[in-house]
Amino acid sequence: MAPDATGAPTGTTGGARVPTALLTSAMAFSMLQLFLLGALGPRLVDELDFSPTVLGLTTTIGFGTAAVLSPAGGRIVDRVGPRRALAALLLLSAAALALIGAAPGAGFLLAAVALGGLPQALANPATNKAILAAVEPARRGAVTGMKQSGVQLGAFAAGLPLAALAGWVGWRGAVWTAAGAAVVTAGWALRALPPDPPARTGAPRASLVPRGAIAWLAAFSLLLGCGIASVNTYLALYGVRRLDMGAGAAGALVAVLGVAGVVGRVAWSKAARPGRAEWLPGWLAAGAVGAALLLAGAAAVGPLVWVAAVAVGVFAVSANAVSMVLVMQRAAPGHAGQDSALVSAGFFTGFALGPPLFGLLAASDRYGWGWSLVAAEFAAACGVGLVWAVRERGLARQTTGPVR
């Protein structure tokens, strides 16, 4: 078989298939801590006695750490292989969740969240590299959508079963339960995945500065991440404080967003074929603008918040999965992990920047202005996505081969 962007033969990784459910689970655990902090936000704000601004800082710290470490994480994955990287990210996720559950106050909580940035930095490079090595090209879009939907399954788990468990055993017990599940999944990864090849040494290093299509996708992901992170962090709190919802119902909003994101990511990623995929980020970001405006309108018409949660999942969250499909279609040979990491770094930077800005507005109960800010962030992402698509179409007309 011919080698692909990983340098391995297409369709095989040591002669074994990579379980899609394992990749999906790894993605879920890599970001579960932040969905839990959002879904359990009303309980944490009351028990640990900190402000909505501090709640926003948890997202900033977690994703800021992930953004800084992502380029190095991509190199590590390219060097050591997906099996080692996936096991490490699951064990690190378990450690971060265990420490969050033990946090006596805001300072300890923020330190634990910083540790959780490490598995985030490894998640997309490791799972993308596994897909490129083990999945035939025709199925990569669908499998990528399935594994990216793991992030939204994490949102569903945080917003429904774990939030419900928190009502029974307390929020700490719910977080510790998630930590135990991450340890079990790490054991599954070590048993299910084939051994990695010997760690690469002496290989030329890829640039830490994104270029070409990767740079455009990183910029798009940054703007998209700003808006998605604000929704993830403040949706439940908005439901409790402005829409008079109970903590359980507000947590269910996060679950609804998660389910919609799963469906959207699978469907749009499967549709992201070369020639069509380039246009999807911009149009999905345009739909996300409408979702943000629906969130603002929910202050006057409460039920709109449920429609808005679905729309955020179908459009904004799905756009991130499509960007990962595009990365794999354009990955530099031998550097799939690194290119994935650079785009992820842009997304994580957006997640670090968005919530603090929204938090300043939420602290003064100006949620309407907050959702308008989110709409502006999605609109900027739409502009970047559409300009890039036009540019890619022009480049394609000038060449006889695929755009790289």
Whether 319 contacts 224, CB under 8 Å: yes
What is the average per-residue pLDDT within 387-392? 90
Distance CA 213, CA 354 (A): 24
pLDDT reported for residue 135: 78
Q: Which of 84-93, 252-261, 293-302 has the lowest mean pLDDT?
A: 252-261
Q: Quick check: 298 pLDDT over 70?
A: yes
Average pLDDT over residues 126-133: 83
pLDDT digits (tens, 9 = 90+) for 45-102: 778 877 777 777 887 888 889 888 888 888 888 888 888 899 999 999 999 999 999 9
Say if residue 377's pLDDT is above 80.
yes
Taking the C-alpha atoms of residue 366 and residue 368, their distance in angstroms, rounded to an integer, is: 5
In a domain, residue 54? The reply is: yes
* Secondary structure (3-state) at 9: strand
DSSP 60-101: HHHHHHHHHHHHHHHHHHHHH-HHHHHHHHHHHHHHHHHHHH
The mean of the pLDDT values for the chain is 84
Most confident range, picked from 117-126, 281-290, 322-331 = 281-290
Helix, strand or coil, per DSSP, at residue 138: helix
Reading the block at residue 212, the tokens are 């070409």
pLDDT over threshold 90, residue 214: no
* pLDDT per position as a tens digit, 307-324: 999 999 999 999 988 998
Cα-to-chain-centroid distance, residue 67 = 12
Whether the per-residue pLDDT at 361 is higher than 60: the answer is yes
Give the residue-averaged pLDDT of 10-20.
54
Per the domain annotation, does 289 fall within a domain? yes
Evaluate whether 378 touches 224 at the Cβ level (below 8 Å).
Answer: yes
Quote the pLDDT of residue 404.
Answer: 43
Q: Is residue 298 part of a domain?
A: yes
Asked whether residue 251 is assigned to any structural domain, the reply reads yes
CA dihedral 291, 232, 351, 341 (to 10 degrees): -100
Q: Which has the minimum average pLDDT: 118-132, 179-193, 379-393?
A: 118-132
Tokens of 394: 């022009």
* The pLDDT value given to residue 9: 35
Give the pLDDT confidence of 158-167 residue by residue, as tens digits.
877 888 898 8
- Helices and strands (H and E) in the chain: how many: 16, 0
DSSP assignment letter at 400 = S
Among 182-196, 298-312, 321-335, where is mean pLDDT lowest? 321-335
Domain with 72, as residue range(s), is 20-195+207-398
Residue 397 CA to residue 204 CA, distance in Å, equals 32
Q: At what angle do helices 336-363 and 318-330 cross, to 10 degrees?
A: 160
- The DSSP annotation for 276-310 comes to TGGGHHHHHHHHHHHHHHHHHHTTTSTTHHHHHHH
Q: Which residue has the tokens 């507005």?
A: 361
How many other C-beta atoms lie within 10 A of the C-beta of residue 16?
A: 12
d(CA 369, CA 74): 37
SS3 16: strand
Give the N- to C-terminal CA distance of the chain in Å, as an integer: 22
The length of the chain is 404
Decide: 338 and 331 in contact? Cβ < 8 Å: no
For the chain, the farthest-separated pair of C-alpha atoms sits apart, in whole angstroms, at 62
Specify the CATH number for the domain of residue 132: 1.20.1250.20
Q: Are 26 and 127 in contact (CB under 8 A)?
A: yes
Give me the pLDDT at residue 12, please: 41
Average pLDDT, stretch 241-263?
A: 86
User: What is the number of other CB atoms lying within 10 angstroms of the CB of residue 273?
Assistant: 12
Residues with Cβ < 8 Å from 139, sequence gap 6 or more?
Answer: none
The answer to whether position 291 is within a domain reads: yes
pLDDT at 24: 92
Please indicate, yes or no, if residue 202 is contained in any of the structural domains.
no
Q: Is residue 7 part of a domain?
A: no
Instruction: Count Cα neighbours of 76 within 13 Å in the Cβ-side half-sphere.
Output: 19
Output the CA–CA distances (angstroms, integers) from residue 183 to 139, 156, 163, 180, 400, in the order listed: 29, 20, 20, 5, 49
- Count how many domains the chain has: 1
Supply φ then ψ for residue 198, to 5 degrees.
-55, 145
Q: Give this prediction's pTM.
A: 0.76
Q: Does 383 have pLDDT greater than 70? A: yes
Within a domain: 173: yes
Name the DSSP class of 364. T
